[in-house]
């Protein structure tokens, strides 16, 4: 495998870049940190967006105490209103974009920026997502694509002590990004913030990527970018992304993450969560996320889900979404 170009080299060459939130939810918001850095590197236009994956309640329902949303809604472009549909699996969003009255994080981001954002749906499997992302790249005339993940799960092998909970969406995005005909980079912010991998296993898996030559850069967000992220997070619930801000401000150690159960989980934040790590997507797949190679040809989300089940990995699409833990 050829040695990949550094992120700085790619940024200096790029005139327009697309940043996609890798795992859904608030990942697109954290993309602001990469957008700020790319702009300082001289990239003229940076477009932000994410995937059609949200942890939200059913339309018209609230989220009372002891009611948790465990499984995400990985929805279709057909479920979106007030969008410019540019592909069967991609749409351009505005501040008033919604799904049955619910506002995706990408719409919050569009309203904040006063600019267009985008959403790519995984309903067409890796093939559909790759084609949808290609349409986005062409729409923004981009020559660089960055995927922004928060936490750890994309770097899982499937053989960790504690299985990851939301890796299928991340791996489909990773495959779609790698499949583009322009330069592509996978970025990891908030090292360990999602509490899905034990910090020792995340460190070991990161070491495998580094040993394979997959590191293409490391950069620190600016104080201005962190403040902007913090302000946007006040408008959209993002329990994991907020730890990116906490780490930047030196709040290391144990943190509560209100996901997965009534009691939540514990994330161990270290100085490794301050910078944003940039990797070659192809080398990430070759070194640790090797199961991704099994879903490259998928043309539906159901097909990718079935393959991961056969591999012994429980996809987040298979579990009940909204759980009421209250005693009745």
E strands, the chain, in order: 16-21, 45-51, 53-54, 67-69, 73-74, 81-87, 90-98, 117-120, 144-150, 183-189, 215-219, 253-257, 265-269, 276-279, 322-324
Residue range 113-128: mean pLDDT, rounded: 98
Domain that holds residue 80: 7-324
How many structural domains compose the chain? 1
With respect to residue 225, please indicate whether it lies within any of the assigned structural domains: yes
* Pairwise CA distance, residues 122 & 173, whole Å: 8
With respect to residue 2, please indicate whether it lies within any of the assigned structural domains: no
**H or E element: which one contains 307?**
helix 301-310
* Pairwise CA distance, residues 267 & 251, whole Å: 12
With respect to residue 84, please indicate whether it lies within any of the assigned structural domains: yes
With respect to residue 52, please indicate whether it lies within any of the assigned structural domains: yes
Q: Is the pLDDT of residue 57 over 90?
A: no
| Terminal Cα distance for the chain, rounded | 58
Beta bridge partners of 139: none
With respect to residue 77, please indicate whether it lies within any of the assigned structural domains: yes
With respect to residue 86, please indicate whether it lies within any of the assigned structural domains: yes
Per-residue pLDDT tens digits for 281-328: 999 999 999 999 999 999 999 999 999 999 999 999 998 888 888 887
300 token code pair: 């539906």
With respect to residue 258, please indicate whether it lies within any of the assigned structural domains: yes
With respect to residue 185, please indicate whether it lies within any of the assigned structural domains: yes
Per-residue pLDDT tens digits for 226-281: 999 999 999 998 889 999 999 999 999 999 998 888 888 999 999 999 999 999 99
Task: State the Cα torsion 281-285-291-294 to the nearest 10°.
Answer: 70
**What is residue 70's predicted lDDT score, i.e. its pLDDT?**
79
* Cα 273–chain centre separation: 16
Per-residue pLDDT tens digits for 166-216: 999 999 999 999 999 999 999 999 999 999 999 999 999 999 999 999 999
pTM equals 0.96
- Residues 30 and 20 sit within 8 Å (Cβ to Cβ): no
């Amino acid at each position: 495998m050829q040695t990949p170009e550094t992120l700085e080299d790619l940024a200096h060459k790029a005139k327009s870049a697309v940043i996609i939130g890798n795992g859904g939810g608030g990942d697109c918001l954290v993309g602001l940190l990469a957008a700020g850095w790319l702009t300082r590197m001289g990239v003229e236009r940076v477009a932000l967006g994410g995937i059609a994956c949200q942890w939200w309640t059913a339309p018209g329902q609230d989220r009372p105490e002891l009611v948790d949303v465990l499984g995400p809604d990985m929805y279709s472009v057909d479920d979106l209103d007030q969008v410019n549909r540019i592909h069967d699996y991609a749409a351009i969003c505005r501040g008033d974009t919604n799904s049955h009255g619910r506002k995706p994080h990408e719409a919050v981001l569009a309203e904040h920026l006063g600019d267009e954002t985008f959403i790519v749906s995984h309903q067409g499997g890796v093939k559909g997502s790759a084609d949808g992302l290609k349409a986005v790249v062409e729409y923004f005339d981009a020559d660089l694509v960055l995927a922004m993940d928060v936490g750890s799960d994309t770097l899982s092998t499937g053989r960790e002590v504690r299985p990851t909970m939301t890796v299928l969406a991340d791996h489909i995005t990773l495959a779609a990004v790698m499949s583009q005909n322009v330069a592509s980079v996978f970025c990891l912010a908030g090292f360990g913030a999602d509490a899905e991998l034990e910090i020792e296993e995340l460190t070991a898996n990161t070491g495998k990527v580094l040993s394979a030559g997959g590191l293409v850069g490391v950069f620190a967000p600016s104080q201005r970018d962190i403040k902007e992220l913090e302000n946007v997070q006040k408008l959209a619930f993002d329990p994991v992304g907020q730890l990116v801000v906490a780490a930047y401000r030196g709040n290391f150690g144990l943190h509560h993450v209100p996901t997965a159960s009534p009691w939540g989980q514990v994330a161990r934040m270290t100085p490794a969560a301050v910078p944003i790590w940039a990797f070659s997507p192809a080398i990430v797949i070759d070194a640790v996320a090797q199961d991704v190679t099994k879903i490259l040809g998928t043309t539906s989300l159901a097909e990718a889900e079935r393959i991961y089940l056969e591999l012994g990995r429980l996809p987040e699409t298979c579990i009940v979404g909204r759980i009421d833990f209250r005693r009745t």
